[in-house]
């Protein structure tokens, strides 16, 4: 039963992942991402991480993907331009290297020491996660708040309009104006 659940959700998350990069419409990419995140939540459930699974659905599927969809709709998604793929010539290198990475990682995972540890009964509950987060992992938890702050500042900086036209246009290289 567990193996079946794992197989189905793993296959779905893989399919979603392919969909994210292969879809031509941004909306389809966002919806594929929803599939990835949803099936990951199921994977967390099979790993007895219930709280994480719920968070995954609420935060990522519920908030983040919805935000993506809002942005896509606000941008009035135009039909995608048909341009030659920018990675066209690199497929010959990308496929073997990707396959090698996959093979190496799979082999490494198969060679991992077998047999897990016995989990305490409260593993994965809200209380257990909270206890870890606010004791052992307090410092990374607080530093993550700095990371989020940087994210906000980044949005403000990159979202601001370029300098007003009174400032002479500048570029980082002289070649640009040629």
Partner 1 sequence: MSLDLRPLFPELAVVAASLVALVGDVFVRGPRARMAWPVAGVVAVSVAGVLVWRAGDAAFGSLYARDALGNALQAVALAVAAVGLLLARDYLVRTGLDRGEYYALVLLSTVGAMLMVASQDLLFLFVALETLSLPLYVLAGFARDSHRSQEASLKYFLLGSFASALLLYGVALVYGVAGSTALSRLAEADASFPLLVGLGLVVVGLGFKAAVVPFHAWAPDVYEGAPVPAVAFMSVVAKVGAVGALLRILPATVPHLLSAWQPLLAALSAATMLVGNLAALRQTNLKRMLAYSSVAHAGYLLIGVAAGSDAGVWSAVYYLAVYGAMKLGAFGVLTFLERAGVEADEVEDLRGLADRSPAAAAAFAVFMASLTGLPPTAGFVGKFYLFTAALEAGLLWLALVAVATSVVSVAYYLRAAYTAYLGPARAGVRVLRAPWAGVGLGLSAGATLLFGVLPGPLTSWAQRVAALLR
Which residues from 29-48 bind partner 1, rule CB under 8 A?
A: none
Nearer residue to partner 1 within complex by CB, 95 or 105: 105
Structure tokens at 34: 């929803």
Give CA–CA dist 178/169, Å, rounded: 14
Nearer residue to partner 1 within complex by CB, 82 or 166: 166
Cβ 68 to partner 1 shortest distance, Å: 16
40 burial via Cβ count (<10 Å: 0-12, 13-18, 19+): buried
Residue range at the interface with partner 1 (CB under 8 A); choices 25-33, 88-96, 121-129, 163-171 = 163-171
Beta carbons within 10 angstroms of residue 107's beta carbon = 9
Structure tokens at 65: 């993907």
Structure tokens at 100: 């090698």
Give CA–CA dist 169/151, Å, rounded: 27
Per CB under 8 A, 73 contacts partner 1: no
Residue range at the interface with partner 1 (CB under 8 A); choices 1-9, 10-18, 80-88, 168-176 = 168-176
Per CB under 8 A, 160 contacts partner 1: yes
The single residue among 80, 96, 98, 140 that binds partner 1, judged by CB under 8 A, is 140
Q: Are 47 and 31 in contact (CB under 8 A)?
A: no
Enumerate binding residues for partner 1 (CB under 8 A).
104-105, 107-109, 111-113, 117, 135-140, 143-144, 146-147, 149-151, 153-154, 156-158, 160-164, 167-174, 176-177
């Amino acid at each position: 039963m567990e193996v079946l659940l794992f197989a189905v959700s793993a296959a779905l998350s893989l399919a979603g992942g392919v969909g994210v990069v292969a879809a031509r419409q941004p909306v389809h990419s966002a919806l594929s991402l929803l599939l990835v995140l949803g099936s990951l939540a199921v994977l967390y459930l099979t790993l007895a991480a219930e709280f994480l699974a719920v968070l995954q659905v609420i935060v990522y599927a519920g908030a983040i993907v919805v935000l993506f969809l809002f942005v896509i709709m606000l941008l009035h998604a135009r039909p995608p331009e048909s341009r030659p793929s920018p990675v066209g010539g690199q497929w010959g290198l990308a496929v073997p290297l990707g396959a090698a990475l996959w093979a190496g990682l799979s082999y490494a995972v198969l060679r991992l020491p077998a047999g897990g540890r016995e989990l305490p009964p409260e593993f994965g509950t809200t209380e257990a996660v909270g206890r870890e987060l606010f004791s052992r992992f307090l410092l990374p938890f607080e530093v993550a708040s700095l990371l989020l702050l940087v994210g906000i500042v980044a949005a403000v900086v990159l979202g601001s309009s370029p300098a007003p036209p009174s400032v002479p246009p500048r570029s980082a290289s002289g070649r640009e104006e040629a």
